[in-house]
Amino acid sequence: MRKPLIAGNWKMFKTTAEAKDFAESFKKLYVSSDIQVAVCAPFTQLKTLKEAFQGTDIKVGAQNMHFAEEGAYTGEISAAMLKEIGVDYCIIGHSERRQFFAETNDTVNKKLHKAFSTGIVPIMCVGESLEERDAEAAFEVVKSQMAAGLKDITAEQAQSLVIAYEPVWAIGTGRTASPEQANEMCGFIRDIIEELYDDDVADKIVIQYGGSVKSSNAADIMNMEEIDGALVGGASLVPEEFIQIVNF
């Protein structure tokens, strides 16, 4: 039985003081349930959030990490640094990382290996651009991202992986894939997992949808058979909005 994951992706928003205020407000609204909740925040806020959420089952995630153990990588953060402060999840291969910071399927794969070896659960993002969807290449693109990203990842590791399907054309645009479109792609992703591993792994893996998720459309998205959660952007910045999505 898969436990749905609602993960907020704060992107480059909130100071540490604002993060602390959010955590205090959100805790008052939050009631533990069968839905796993995580907040993925900028590096400077992670320790504050871990401390603020102590005693709850709310998890904390990073938005990126480097694949090297350590080294001359100015401006980067290692998995060991994240693990030291108790980070639970890490978003890997988000479309904005691919678009603006030269993230590739190869670096995604390297980061997945490092995350698993460090005990951090990766949230691997896949998804097509509008041009690729219009060219009817969406499934081909996602399959390529999946195959390359999961190279040499074992079945045991893959069982704990979270995959976020985020059509690039629906991120921060106000446009959302229809529940049927999102469900179709998430089902396709599960079929790929079955091809790469087996039906047991496919049954266990959590597949989220991400792309302009908000309280007004969360229920329609989350009630689709193949969708196990959501990667929430702007709507996760406001406690009252985020809790409505969690309580869809």
As a whole number of Å, the end-to-end CA separation of the chain is 19
The binding site comprises 9-11, 172, 212, 233-234
Q: pLDDT of 29-54, one tens digit each?
A: 999 999 999 999 999 999 999 999 99
Give residue 171's pLDDT band: very low, low, confident or very high (50, 70, 90).
confident
Q: Which DSSP state fits 248?
A: -
Out of 66, 94, 96, 132, pick the active-site residue: 94
Alpha helix (H) residue ranges in 163-238: 179-196, 199-204, 218-222
Neighbours of 128 (CB within 10 A): 23
**Strand 229-232 with 59-62, pairing:** unpaired
Determine whether 18 is an active site residue.
no
Neighbours of 88 (CB within 10 A): 20
Cα–Cα distance for residue pair 219/186, rounded to 1 Å = 16
- Percent of the chain topping pLDDT 70: 100
For the cut 80, the answer to whether the pLDDT of residue 68 exceeds it is: yes
The binding site for substrate comprises 9-11, 172, 212, 233-234
Determine whether 94 is an active site residue.
yes
Residue 32 phi, psi (nearest 5): -60, 140
For 125, left (φ over 0), alpha (ψ -120 to 50), or beta?
beta
Tell me the CATH number at 142: 3.20.20.70
Neighbours of 70 (CB within 10 A): 10
**By residue range, what is the domain housing residue 78?**
5-246
Cα–Cα distance for residue pair 216/219, rounded to 1 Å = 8
Find the largest Cα–Cα distance for the chain: 49
For 41, left (φ over 0), alpha (ψ -120 to 50), or beta?
beta
Predicted TM-score (pTM) of this structure: 0.96
Angle between helices 179-196 and 138-149 (to 10 degrees): 40
Out of 96, 128, 166, 241, pick the active-site residue: 166
pLDDT at 212: 87
Those residues with Cβ within 8 angstroms of residue 102's Cβ, 6 or more apart along the chain or in another chain:
none
pLDDT at 176: 73
Cα–Cα distance for residue pair 92/206, rounded to 1 Å = 15
Q: Which DSSP state fits 92?
A: E
Q: pLDDT of 197-215, one tens digit each?
A: 999 999 999 999 998 899 9
Count of structural domains, the chain: 1
Q: Reduce the DSSP state of residue 43 to 3 states and report it.
A: helix
Element (H, E) at 241: helix 239-246
Cα–Cα distance for residue pair 140/177, rounded to 1 Å = 18
β-pair partners for 89: 61, 121
